[in-house]
Structure 1
């Protein structure tokens, strides 16, 4: 039993391991039952045990009249109708509960106008209430649906008194229609099967609960901004308040009932989006557009001529809404006609002129009176109105035109209107001869010769693809329904005997291969077939020159419970996707992925794409998914030898460049002769080949990879890359610029050439020069000043033989004038936040707590340890060390609510480079260190074992154990093993200890069962398939947690947890010698690799030897 924590107020989550209660129905017979009890600001609830999610009883704190002691270990909670008696494990624990309950009862937050009801808000928030049958119970329950919760009561009287059974959070719920009067409310923890009295009531309950789920998942941020424009607070069509839907192309906001009619117009006329659920659609420009126009201004155009007899009211029926909205937006019946209406050329000219201004309402009027959004402006530099608006920096004009790029016109030329009804795509018909192989149930990996194909007459009509022996036959050899097609792939030319082939995958796990020698024949068939099975919501994908198109199920960070259906098209290295309930399509640049891996999960194939978010693609069928997986992984790799064909970071920098720069920044800035020394040629070639094969999978680690090998990989990559970083067309212009004598003219020319580079080349050059700028700032340590770096990188970047210094001079000037040439306001990049004239990093470290008065800006040399940083902070504040004081530097992560004391020998710089925006360093006393050292001193064996509560992280794929569960752990000098129970023979999981990073604390939103938790992060060392996991452990006591943490630290640092004499560590800090070598070349400009290596060896043996004859 864990004692209750006492608090002056009501904590958000207050719980005990146990608290028995007794029934009060019979005062003479006291029967206590052990219950798990929770108290928060609004409710006192008790459960069968701590693992239960749904309570047995819930008591509103607003219905509690008093709380008082009634004897040994007991107290009573008195409500307006009943008295509940509880017994604690001790008087001390009982007093703690009474104190907190009395505070809760007396807290004004808990007092509502409604005295007894759990739902103390006004009755208008009760979306629905009434009796329902719950499967498994004999009597009906009184159910109340309020906002994002469903409350269950024994009867209506209990509801009025504020004493319920439990409540269900709808943000984890899903409603499913089952039998005639039944429906299921499904949560991850339990399925509630309800039955209503009538079919009509059931439909009302289902609809209300689905709305509640949508409400629970919605976000009001966008709606609040748009409603800030007063007229947007009322429906543009019927005037209802707080409209939650909008047509993003028509620039009007409307209510839910009108939204249904807008959808009926089709996406070519009205693009309907939710203000609360389609958050990713609402860019800042689109929000500003709606705030600028507003319903009032938009209706100056759309509703300029509405007769009072035809105007809608909030109470108007569905038929009236349909008639009015169709007339208003499809026919343009009530709009204000533009004075140029009917004159197409004049409308287009006026549009081109107006987009240069900020008058968006005029643009709206022109477009919906017939102006062509895609008309030619007459200016080849800015050929379209969108390009013209962009050139004048009219962002809202660009946003409006972009939303209406494909909007169907409601008016045709000549001044008359034509009603264009939205309908399903027409039935596609096509016929002709194709060559076909026999269908198979596995991927086709071998080349099919022409002899393996048979000539077939093929027809496509009414959604059926038939193939016949010849055009004379009336009975088809086979039929393929369009609704059965799940994927179509276009093969590269000459993959098979016929030059051009395509594959069709069906939902019955069959693969059909068709081909022809004529490219146009295959193109027409592919176009006709895809038009027949791709839905209208994904028709934008058909405009792409795709290699593969089809449907797959997916999960993302917003939906991990159940997969949704999406439509995907692979075009080169870009995966275009039309997700459910999303606007248009989204593009996933596969070469810019952070992670990409595939495997089997839940009996399905899975492919995880990780870029801005995690996207989990699931294959219901193995055949088509395997082909998708292979195609995506191939597209995500490097496809050529130019910079733009490499795997890229989000900043358009090749991954190989980014990884090498990051590693050298972290491990090699102070390495003497960095970039000058030769590495091991075989290791350089092997590492470069790994990068070329799959740069994303390569993880450079200190100890495994030598700095000189990595630096030579980077140089060799630039020397070998096709076209070079400066491009073969412009490299001579760069070289000739070095001869310009006027410095300002030279910088201007460099800036011009930089702006002319392709996007990837420009980003890569800036990243490299930024890095070299940082390297030369450490010249005191690495001996690599501007001149030396230029000697090394000039020939590599310009791919020359190094016989003259022109290439080196360009590199030297780019580094020297880095800030001016690259227009850097302040020198960016972590490594360049430095003190004047020094090579040290500057970072903010806090003393004892994170507040402004505790900030300290500290220079962080690459060699500084955590102990040295700690003493630096203490020296500044003149804090003297006393016996038994254990000052330590902690890494704190506010988002994860964790902290980790750095080992006193741990280098600070790599830690700083890995910190996110939610993390910081703080120096404070380690109050548990003495107890940890005493415990470790008493240990005979380095290992530890015992029970802990375990939970996996589920944020990546939605997999893993939910909630905390008891598991048995064994920690040895090499590994941490997890067993389901003590008697288990085989571990469920096992991790090497050296790959674990242990933090103290567990984030509260995971609802840890105790406050003594550890967060453990595992990073694998495998190069081919790097892996990162995170999970959580909870101990029963603080002592137990401290012992586990001490054992982890002891094993990871070979028993050296704290220095035997801390003052020695303080005295051992030394300032590096200041050795400046100026601009003297350290290694000959020319010569064989062996000669250069020998020069480096000589320099390493006697650095002053080079200067004795100077």
Structure 2
């Protein structure tokens, strides 16, 4: 049996079968009104063009002759339309409290220049239009203001494509569907949740997953650390929302900012190609110099441009040179280029600077001028090329050879002038300085490179297939029936491994389930939840025979989330009982636990002899610490709420010590703070807290 975490009040409970990721949305009764406060009284009138109401989506373009001119008035919560402005009896009316969605169509979508659609609860759709865009905009604003709940009035300021109310589930509560107000503007879905005073933007191009489940009843939007389930009150308007969100979540053009993006603002297309080549092609001879098949490159690029989110590059199905060629062609065809037309010549002129430090300084200045997505993409690409040249002994692609290929590609030139190549060569050679890469990032990269090299050595010795690394991961506890044998690619994160294990065993998350991947050290009788973004392969190569990985629930996550959300500042201080490992720290303490005062902030952990001490006896950078829950029983800890702490500096000098807290609550607070300061986020929203504390898995 693996050790039970001291954070856990009891062992993990029973769990249900998973593949129904989509919860059923149980909505309120028909008697429940969507408005708890009176709607604002809005008055507007004028002539509008109108078609007969419909019971299905507008599938075809409506000609001008299909519209009839009607006098329309909006007052006292009713939109009425008349034969003309002299009639006293309306031809029909729409109660604003029955409106569920308002859609602003693109210009000239129909025979009238500016048109908009109104959806109501009884599954009817009304199409109106005007030849004047300004007048149509005034009608849109007035109608929206008349039916949108006052708590969602923030949405009215948006240049929305559609706005309305939908039922959703998400966050910490999946028991009951709530009503929210949604507005789609560009590639952002703005949401006013039922229990929130402010709207929250969802960047649709950054979604990890977008799917329809439950017989087309539920739209599932998966961000990193959050899943949102949306259902329309009626099929008619819901189908429109689905189509519009799917379109907005796709790539919209040929510039970088119009692509589907990762959480770190790198185009998903670029991320997919780099990940695949890192996993399968770092040692491929002539990588990026060789050309792939033109037809396969064209086909793959079209697929990735259309929806990179749905494309999975797999060894055996895709050739390394085809993927490499796809990445190069993407950059060569990029609208405005990676370095932008505005700044491209400045980058080329920087190569003339003879003083190396001045040139690096100029590159750093130019890097700061690039748009966010361009800057993130350039760093991701140069980071990748930096890795590729580390394997030049096998792939024959040193820094100079890579620069010859990528200079003309990135600057979109004919290659006759080597200035473009010189820029790329400088960026790779001075990668650490130009991109301000810290020691922690470099160590992480070194670990990943070492892991890949070990994997390639094992492959060449015939002990395993090329590209494969199979490891055993346990579900909930270490026993034979809980074993899962998983192929670990070089790019797999702890979060992806957690998803893989739960999907295999069809585990469904209940409300407030927090699944994580843990590194368990049997010898130390301690365990560590992995951060969701940690790469698994380097960890596996560092594990001793006494350690293994297990996917299980993190039982105290909710308490830690509550603590982090309510904390003041990023610091924690207090007394803990401290013990050295064989007196290695030189503090002269006798064997056993001693009271010491600790201060932890986002840069270091300091140890003081007592509260009144001004000078710390010891301090350690937090980036060099690994904190495990639990400790060896033979140490006879004074309480059961303890940590085992490992420290390793850049010279690979190692230290180990133990800390004990007086209460379980104190342990949780210290551990949550350790996780928080090591991840380095500083936000206070529920989503951000999930993001910073998310440990290798999924949050229900």
Interval of TM-score (by shorter of Structure 1 and Structure 2) = 0.5 to 0.7
Q: Structure 1 residues 469, 620: closer, same or farther in 2, change over 3 A? A: same
Q: Select which of 436, 450, 457 maps to 1:841.
A: 450
Q: Secondary structure at the match of 1:704?
A: coil
The answer to whether the Cα contact below 8 Å between 2:387 and 2:449 also exists between their aligned partners in 1 is no
Q: Structure 1 residues 525, 829: closer, same or farther in 2, change over 3 A? A: farther
CA–CA separation in structure 1 for the residues paired with 2:259 and 2:205: 7
| Superposed displacement of residue 448, structure 1 | 0.8
CA–CA separation in structure 2 for the residues paired with 1:919 and 1:515: 52
CA–CA separation in structure 2 for the residues paired with 1:897 and 1:915: 21
User: How many residues in Structure 1 have an aligned counterpart in Structure 2?
Assistant: 488
Does residue 916 of the first structure (1) align with residue 499 of the second (2)?
no
Does residue 586 of the first structure (1) align with residue 164 of the second (2)?
no
Q: Select which of 602, 605, 609 maps to 2:221.
A: 609
Q: Which residue of 2 aligns with 1:629?
A: 242
The answer to whether the Cα contact below 8 Å between 1:566 and 1:578 also exists between their aligned partners in 2 is yes
Q: Which residue of 2 aligns with 1:482?
A: 96
Q: Secondary structure at the match of 2:508?
A: coil
Q: Which residue of 1 aligns with 2:76?
A: 462
CA–CA separation in structure 2 for the residues paired with 1:581 and 1:902: 40
Q: Which residue of 2 aligns with 1:797?
A: 410
The answer to whether the Cα contact below 8 Å between 1:819 and 1:826 also exists between their aligned partners in 2 is no
List aligned pairs for 1:1045-1056, cutoff 5 A: none
Q: Which residue of 2 aligns with 1:864?
A: 458
The answer to whether the Cα contact below 8 Å between 2:382 and 2:427 also exists between their aligned partners in 1 is yes
Q: Which residue of 2 aligns with 1:560?
A: 174
Q: Which residue of 2 aligns with 1:776?
A: 389
The answer to whether the Cα contact below 8 Å between 1:724 and 1:799 also exists between their aligned partners in 2 is yes
CA–CA separation in structure 2 for the residues paired with 1:579 and 1:779: 52
Q: Which residue of 2 aligns with 1:718?
A: 331
Q: Secondary structure at the match of 2:458?
A: coil
The answer to whether the Cα contact below 8 Å between 2:222 and 2:228 also exists between their aligned partners in 1 is yes
Q: Secondary structure at the match of 2:441?
A: coil
Per-residue CA deviations over 1:118-146 (Å, capped at 9, x if unaligned) read xxxxxxxxxxxxxxxxxxxxxxxxxxxxx
Q: Select which of 344, 348, 352 maps to 1:731.
A: 344
CA–CA separation in structure 1 for the residues paired with 2:479 and 2:248: 39
CA–CA separation in structure 2 for the residues paired with 1:539 and 1:556: 22
| Superposed displacement of residue 918, structure 1 | 11
| Superposed displacement of residue 582, structure 1 | 1.3
CA–CA separation in structure 2 for the residues paired with 1:702 and 1:779: 22
| Superposed displacement of residue 804, structure 1 | 1.8
The answer to whether the Cα contact below 8 Å between 1:503 and 1:511 also exists between their aligned partners in 2 is yes
Per-residue CA deviations over 1:976-1003 (Å, capped at 9, x if unaligned) read xxxxxxxxxxxxxxxxxxxxxxx99885
List aligned pairs for 1:504-653, cutoff 5 A: 504-601=118-215, 605-612=217-224, 613-653=226-266
Q: Which residue of 1 aligns with 2:374?
A: 761
Q: Structure 1 residues 957, 658: closer, same or farther in 2, change over 3 A? A: farther
| Superposed displacement of residue 866, structure 1 | 12
Q: Secondary structure at the match of 1:617?
A: strand
Q: Secondary structure at the match of 1:669?
A: coil
Per-residue CA deviations over 1:262-294 (Å, capped at 9, x if unaligned) read xxxx9xxxxxxxxxxxxxxxxxxxxxxxxxxxx
Per-residue CA deviations over 1:1024-1058 (Å, capped at 9, x if unaligned) read xxxxxxxxxxxxxxxxxxxxxxxxxxxxxxxxxxx
Q: Structure 1 residues 957, 800: closer, same or farther in 2, change over 3 A? A: farther
List aligned pairs for 1:249-288, cutoff 5 A: none
Q: Secondary structure at the match of 1:841?
A: helix
Q: Structure 1 residues 738, 827: closer, same or farther in 2, change over 3 A? A: farther
Q: Which residue of 1 aligns with 2:527?
A: none
The answer to whether the Cα contact below 8 Å between 2:301 and 2:330 also exists between their aligned partners in 1 is yes
List aligned pairs for 1:930-969, cutoff 5 A: 952-955=506-509
Q: Structure 1 residues 516, 740: closer, same or farther in 2, change over 3 A? A: same
List aligned pairs for 1:380-419, cutoff 5 A: none
Q: Which residue of 1 aligns with 2:281?
A: 668
Identify unmatched segments of 5+ residues in structure 1.
Answer: 1-10, 16-39, 41-49, 52-173, 178-265, 267-422, 844-858, 871-887, 921-949, 959-998, 1007-1110
Q: Secondary structure at the match of 1:496?
A: coil
Q: Which residue of 2 aligns with 1:185?
A: none
Q: Structure 1 residues 611, 502: closer, same or farther in 2, change over 3 A? A: same
The answer to whether the Cα contact below 8 Å between 1:772 and 1:789 also exists between their aligned partners in 2 is yes
Q: Normalization by structure 1: what TM-score?
A: 0.41
The answer to whether the Cα contact below 8 Å between 1:894 and 1:918 also exists between their aligned partners in 2 is no
The answer to whether the Cα contact below 8 Å between 1:486 and 1:551 also exists between their aligned partners in 2 is yes
Does residue 743 of the first structure (1) align with residue 356 of the second (2)?
yes
The answer to whether the Cα contact below 8 Å between 1:447 and 1:496 also exists between their aligned partners in 2 is yes
Q: Structure 1 residues 673, 591: closer, same or farther in 2, change over 3 A? A: same
Q: Structure 1 residues 918, 806: closer, same or farther in 2, change over 3 A? A: closer
Q: Structure 1 residues 825, 12: closer, same or farther in 2, change over 3 A? A: closer
Q: Structure 1 residues 562, 660: closer, same or farther in 2, change over 3 A? A: same
Per-residue CA deviations over 1:995-1021 (Å, capped at 9, x if unaligned) read xxxx99885799xxxxxxxxxxxxxxx
| Superposed displacement of residue 865, structure 1 | 5.3
List aligned pairs for 1:1055-1074, cutoff 5 A: none
The answer to whether the Cα contact below 8 Å between 2:285 and 2:395 also exists between their aligned partners in 1 is yes
CA–CA separation in structure 1 for the residues paired with 2:332 and 2:445: 26
CA–CA separation in structure 1 for the residues paired with 2:366 and 2:284: 33
Does residue 445 of the first structure (1) align with residue 39 of the second (2)?
no
The answer to whether the Cα contact below 8 Å between 2:279 and 2:489 also exists between their aligned partners in 1 is no
RMSD of aligned alpha carbons: 3.7
CA–CA separation in structure 1 for the residues paired with 2:510 and 2:10: 27
List aligned pairs for 1:363-374, cutoff 5 A: none
Q: Which residue of 1 aligns with 2:43?
A: 429
CA–CA separation in structure 2 for the residues paired with 1:607 and 1:750: 44
Work out which of the two has the higher radius of gyration on C-alpha atoms and give 1 or 2: 1
| Superposed displacement of residue 521, structure 1 | 1.0
Identify unmatched segments of 5+ residues in structure 2.
Answer: 1-7, 16-25, 30-35, 499-503, 513-547, 556-700
List aligned pairs for 1:1013-1028, cutoff 5 A: none
Does residue 689 of the first structure (1) align with residue 298 of the second (2)?
no
CA–CA separation in structure 1 for the residues paired with 2:130 and 2:235: 28
CA–CA separation in structure 1 for the residues paired with 2:303 and 2:320: 16
The answer to whether the Cα contact below 8 Å between 1:866 and 1:889 also exists between their aligned partners in 2 is no
Q: Normalization by structure 2: what TM-score?
A: 0.64
Per-residue CA deviations over 1:479-498 (Å, capped at 9, x if unaligned) read 10001000000000111111
List aligned pairs for 1:119-518, cutoff 5 A: 424=38, 426-518=40-132
CA–CA separation in structure 2 for the residues paired with 1:626 and 1:605: 9
Per-residue CA deviations over 1:81-132 (Å, capped at 9, x if unaligned) read xxxxxxxxxxxxxxxxxxxxxxxxxxxxxxxxxxxxxxxxxxxxxxxxxxxx
